[in-house]
A and B are shown apart, each in its own frame.
Chain A
Amino acid sequence: MRGPSYPKRLLATAWVLVLAAGCATYADRVTQIREEFSTGDLGRAEAAVDAGLKHRLGNDHDVLKLERSIIDLANAHPQEAEQLLREVRDHFDHLEQKAVGEKALSMVTDANRKAYAGEDYEKVLVRVMLTLSNLMGDGGDAGAYALQVADKQQQIIDAGTGSDGENPKKAYQRVAIGAYVHGMLREATHSNFDDVARSCAIVCSWQPSFPFARQDLERAQHGHHSEPGNGVLYVFTLVGIGPYKQQAIELPSTVSLLIADRILSAIGPQTLPPTIAPIKVPKVVCTPNDVTNIGVAVDGRPLGRTETITDVGGMAVAQYDAVYPHIIAEAVVRRIVKKGIIFGGKEAMGVQKDSLAGLGLDVLGVAWEATESADTRCWGLLPDKIQVLRLELPAGEHEVLLQSVGNAGITIGRPSTQRVTITNGRNTYMLANFPYSNLVGSILAKQQ
């Protein structure tokens, strides 16, 4: 019985390649959501996220849920945000396990075919946002979430040792806000100052640029929560537009691979598809932000500015840079696998070197490689910085005014106010979103 002719075989191969082609990037979708969110159009941002979540086969549901949680927080729905964040946290934990089939599929398509398990910084920040959401909700689990922040970081670092014994994750910048919140909650018990001092020492060590760290430590070691008749207001702000992933062309690897495949094509029994399509990799980038701090005035008196407890953008870029060589290596291996399959296909079909059929398969190989797109899935609505200001205020009702401060140190944007009640000896929390100079959504306020 005769086998199928060359054209039929080529057609079949082309069909397989089309099936295996990569998807459009997440970057396009998230750019739109980021724009709508940062300009305060929460309704459209929410609709765009929900439209993505309706796709039953979407492999970006987790990141969309993360985007939705930030929108929920801005819309003053902390319980809904917490629910979504908890779902994603648990799913990310599940996806940390290796899946051989999925990995193999991603080798013949692109990294978008893998379930997204989150970048390391996202896994930690899910817990940070859980802490803040719970603090603005019933507050009962905030302490547990705060402990999970440090715990998850340690797990990530412990698991980072490669087969060569090197651990690039040891260089990771640690997230201090978990320890800060833990200390803050323990201080409000008025009896666990050893815990508070320990947490403050961690903040000093992990975020030395946080200007209040020393005075917090001093208070934990020798002071008390507040003077009798006073309570404490913590103003948390999510400042700036955070990091996101862009598709980048990895030129040095592309050129190296092109040289290698040309040499192998010249000396080998078959030609290889030339590396014409560039190797695409995701790259975490920061957005420049005009807002440096948020000025806080109480009852008309300016009392201070929020300061950075976690530099999300800087941390994300530094963490990603530490593991970037591994991402390039995976993209290069994917190309080699594809070239190997084309080579094997030619051998299996008995194609002559430099024949028309061989040329056709090379063209198919190039097309196959060109279908790759970088995995740009990421949590796009993260803030650039998480900031905080602690204020001791007399018990009673106060009007708190928030206004963004620009690079020149002067206030920019519209002032936003919120009334809060301070209770003697207790904490009160506020959370506000300032992606650009103006407040987005509502200011959340919650008494302990």
Chain B
Amino acid sequence: MHRRQFLVANFLLGCGALSGSGCRSKQFAAVRSPGQGDMVGSHTAGAETYKPLVEEAVNSLLTRQTPPVTPAGTAPPPPRRICFVAVENKSAEEIGDFKDQIYEVIDLKIVNSHVFAPVNKRFVDAGLMQTRLRPDQLFVPENMRSFTYALEQQGQPFDFLLYATITSGTTRSNKDYQRDYLLTLEMINVKSGQYDKQAASLSKGYHHSRVSKWIDNIKS
């Protein structure tokens, strides 16, 4: 190497080094427009999974429970009181901060439908705290009575209990896997024990590489 070339190269290297500016960039964020699709969770379910599940399951339940149109001149029946107890996650994944959001979205949809008059979550939580009952213990008659009594004391009687349950099933194919998510809404009449159940499902494929995803797309 010629001496001059070497010195120029060293000078440039030195300038680059001494500048110390690096190439770190700032993190950016943007508000996603309503028409924009959700980001897709690469390892677990996210908005792309839970949003359609909640939408479909709640709509199905409300459609089936909407009371028939009353004849003219007859007062419509009062909306039935429903106590939305909990969202239970029985899937293979932790849903982290999604759980409370799923509860709120379902609750909001029920409130806005006017098909039911839901009991506010704060009363539900207070009732559970007062009785020290777990949501899964409410079906013992004595427990049900004490829980109903606790809510009635707060001026919140109810006719139905509502549970939302997330479950999953996993099918493995070497390094890839398919996970089926199911959101079930279970509504139980506390007086008669009769229940209604609606569910929504969604399957998601997790691939260890783009090529694997591409091959999967070709197969299907």
Contact = CB atoms under 8 A, between A and B. Distances in A.
B11 to A, nearest CB: 11
B134 A105 contact: no
Contacts of A348: 3, 6-7, 10
A107 B135 contact: no
A105 B18 contact: yes
B19 A101 contact: yes
A15 B159 CA distance: 86
Contacts of B86: 191-192
B125 interface: yes
A429 to B, nearest CB: 18
Interface string B14-25: 101111111111
A228 B90 contact: no
B220 interface: no
Given A97-B24, A97-B25, A348-B3, A195 B125 contact: no
A111 B134 CA distance: 55
Interface string A194-228: 11001000000000000000000000000011111
B128 to A, nearest CB: 4
A190 B18 contact: no
Contacts of A192: 86, 99
Size band of the interface chain A makes with B: 35 or more
Nearest to B93: A198
A113, A151, A190 — which one has the most chain B CB atoms within 10 A of its CB? A190
Given A100-B22, A101-B17, A344 B10 contact: yes
B85 to A, nearest CB: 7
Given A108-B17, A198-B89, A191 B6 contact: no
Interface in B5-56: 6-7, 10, 13-14, 16-27
Task: With a 10 A CB-CB cut-off, give which of B1, B7, B89, B129 has the most chain A CB atoms.
Answer: B129
B213 interface: no
A138 interface: no
A347 B1 contact: yes
Interface string B146-158: 0000000000000
A347 B5 CA distance: 12
